[in-house]
Every structure is written in structure tokens, then in C-alpha cells.
Structure 1
């Protein structure tokens, strides 16, 4: 049996004195897409941030590609380079004059530190290829402060593409996009998933998208209420258990 790409074991996380995530355990198999769903305040983003080491955990263990996340939230650099994170909102100082190509190049530069013999020609080619693959080559010289929401998402996907990744973690990455842009984002994401053999863990409120695309679902409301394939996990009874008696399904016409 193959080692899971990500294994979370009895993870408990507090936000100050508030218990946000309680004894959560799950594992991701290579090449699968797993969605975390649940009501607002259920601990979804907290769980993601604890897995990434952004937030400290009270107890439990996180293993990425078989390597444990340290208590200080660190992974070996060789492992961290195989992981990419797309947040709900990409926050940056708009006074920084950085172009789309320069942002994508930051991902390559981390490789360059490991491969000092790789020259600038290879770097430029990798950046161009990544931007071209997400139909954003025309944005190369545009400042990121001037990008639309959909353009920024494409550039961030190019950042993920500029070097090989095995695990992609998204925290409501399409948030803020209109229906058409969100549909375009998911179409491109799943094309890239199959091309790159990415394993995906994503927080989503779009239950229709989860049913259509995801292999597994984690229903979270502080603790894991259920997990499994969408057909079973997103049953009416399970959704009521996770969301309460009043739950809302987000439906989009793509």
C-alpha cells in the first residue's frame, strides 16, 4: 500500500482559548481530490492553517509525504517545495511594483537555490511556459496590483506550475470570482490536476462542485462528522449532522 501524500492524526487546534478543531484524522491518497465542507465557523480554515504550520496545534500529528511537521510548523525544504497553497485572499502591499512574471519567478527561485547550475535562460523559459499554460502569458509584464481577481488566480496557478508539486492545498481559492470566472478557474484547475498528477485538498462551500469533481469529502464542524465518497457523505442526513437543521446549498449554473 502506498504511503499517503498527507496524513493527519488526532489533530486538535485552539484559537486562543477557543477549541476550533478537535481530534481530526484523515489521509489523502496520491492523485485524489478531497474537499472539506461545513458551516461558517466550523474550523475549516483553521484545519488548513494547522496542516501548513501557520497555526500551532495543541496535539496530534501531520505528515506530508511521510515527513512529520515539527512542533514549530516546519517541514524539510525538499518536502515543502512539493507543496503549494492557494489562500482565499492573496494579500500583498499594492505599493510593491512586482509583475506577474516576477511573482511566478519566485517559485522558480526556490528551486534555483537547490539547483545553482540552472541559468537564467531556463528560468525565463519555465516562467513563460507556466504562464502560457494558464492562458496568462499576456499578463507577464503587468503589475499584480492591476490584475483582476480571475487573472490573479491564473497567475497563482502558474506559480504552482513553475516547478513540480505533489500536493495542492486551496482555502476557498475561487472566492470573490463571478460565476463565469469561477467556472473557468475550476476547469483549468482540473485540467492541471490530471496533467500534473496533483493531490488536492480544498475547502469549498460549493456542494455541487464537490459532488461533480471530488473523490472524497470531509464534513467538519469542529470535529469530523463524517468522511467518504460524495455520494454517501453528502446525504441529507449527514449534511444536517454537519450543518445543523438549516443548511444552505450553494448552486452555480456553470
Structure 2
């Protein structure tokens, strides 16, 4: 069996004096799609941010591609991340294709400095950006200012940013927040298509149990610590959902 793409052992994270994540361990195998589910305040976003080394952890071990997260170096370029809220100044004058292009120049794929990369290989970059936008059905938006995009359009553009170079691990933190039910279903279909084509390993935070049960390979139920993990039909049983969310939870909730 090949080594896991991501391995987390005994991860604990404090937010100030608050214990946000406690002793979490799990693995992701190549080409799988794993969803983290749990109630508000369960530590889901904290977990994925700690996995990506965006916030400090109190204890625990994280390995990506068999290496400690702190030693990834240029291998970080094989990670794609879509945050829950992409915060930006909507008046900032940057177009869709310019934003997606930033994903290409940040790869370090040549030996030159950042400024040199901005000036070098314009044809290769342009082709890569155009192809990423086509594959996410966002090519028609390429000249549009990002501040004018709808929530669903922005999600597709951010997915194109992740697609503009080859990625191995894609982390989505409630990628469908602010998108209606049909938009979420369309995005899931696109994500599944690209996942098969790119052989992505996906780790996503989601509130939509129905979508998770239909589209993900594995589920990690979290409430500060791991309540259960396994295939959707096992992890999302009524007993496990009750243990994760407590009484009164409705399985088919849509937070869009």
C-alpha cells in the first residue's frame, strides 16, 4: 500500500485558552474525497488550518507526501486551498484571469526570482490560465473584475486558481458557503469530474450531510475530537450523527 498523502497524529490546537481541537488522528489516501462534518464550533476550520500550518498547533504530527508539514518547501505548490471566506477589497482592480494567473507564477516552477517569473514564459502562463478557466466553466469571466463576481462564480474562479498547475491535495473549507443549493450541486459535479481527471486527494469541510453522503468516499465526524470516521453509510448513521451533533439535529440541512 502506498504512503498516505496526508497523515495526522495526535493533533491538538488551542485558540488562546480554548481547546479547539483535541488529539485528532486520521489519514488520507491518494484519490480519495474525505469530508469533515460536525456542529458549529466543533473545530473543523481550525483543524484544516492547522493541517496546512496556517495556525500553530500545540502538539501532534502532520505529514504531507511523507514529509513534515514544516519541511515541504516547494512541495507546498502541490497543495490547493479554498478558504471559507475569500476576503478581498472588491474595488481592487484585478481581473479574473489575473487572479488565476497568480496561481501560476507562485509555483516556483523555474529558477528565477518572483519578478522574473512575472516577465517570463507569458505564452505558457496564458495557456495554462485559459485552460483552467475553460475547465471550470469560467472562461467567459476572464476579463471581468473579481469584485463583480457572484458567490458561485467566485468559487469557480478560485477552483481555476487551484487548477492552473498540477495539485495533489485540495483542501476546501466550506467551499459552498454563500452558494444556493443548485449552485452547490453544480459545483460538486464539477469538483468530482476534476478530481477524477486530476487524481486529486480532497479534504473538505461541509455542513451538507446529504451532499457528503452522495459524493464523498469517507467522512470524519468531529466535535473537538474525532467522534467517528469511515465510509459515509457508516459514519453518517443516526447513532453517529447523534453522538456528533447532539439531539435535535436534522440530517438533511442545507446551509446555503
| Unaligned stretches of 5+ residues in structure 1 | none
TM-score computed with the length of structure 2 as normaliser:
0.93
Query: How far apart are residue 96 of structure 1 and its match?
Result: 1.6
Given that 2:74 and 2:108 are in contact with CA atoms closer than 8 Å, whether structure 1 keeps it comes out as no
Stretch deviating more after TM superposition (205-214 or 22-31): 205-214
Query: How far apart are residue 113 of structure 1 and its match?
Result: 5.2
Residue 81 of structure 1 corresponds to which residue in structure 2? Answer: 77
CA distance in 1, matches of 2:89, 2:61: 34
CA distance in 1, matches of 2:59, 2:107: 32
2:106 is paired with a residue whose SS is: helix
Residue 29 of structure 1 corresponds to which residue in structure 2? Answer: 29
CA distance in 2, matches of 1:76, 1:224: 26
CA distance in 2, matches of 1:5, 1:86: 18
* Alignment match of 2:162 (pick from 139, 157, 160): 160
Query: How far apart are residue 112 of structure 1 and its match?
Result: 5.0
How is 1:23-102 mapped onto 2 (pairs within 5 angstroms)?
Answer: 23-70=23-70, 75-102=71-98
Query: How far apart are residue 197 of structure 1 and its match?
Result: 0.4
* Alignment match of 2:174 (pick from 157, 172, 175): 172
1:132 is paired with a residue whose SS is: helix
| Unaligned stretches of 5+ residues in structure 2 | none
CA distance in 2, matches of 1:114, 1:225: 44
Residue 110 of structure 2 corresponds to which residue in structure 1? Answer: 114
- Is 1:143 matched with 2:145? yes
How is 1:127-142 mapped onto 2 (pairs within 5 angstroms)?
Answer: 127-142=129-144
TM-score computed with the length of structure 1 as normaliser:
0.94
CA distance in 1, matches of 2:107, 2:50: 25
Given that 1:13 and 1:58 are in contact with CA atoms closer than 8 Å, whether structure 2 keeps it comes out as yes
Q: CA RMSD in A?
A: 1.4
Stretch deviating more after TM superposition (108-117 or 159-168): 108-117
Query: How far apart are residue 184 of structure 1 and its match?
Result: 1.1
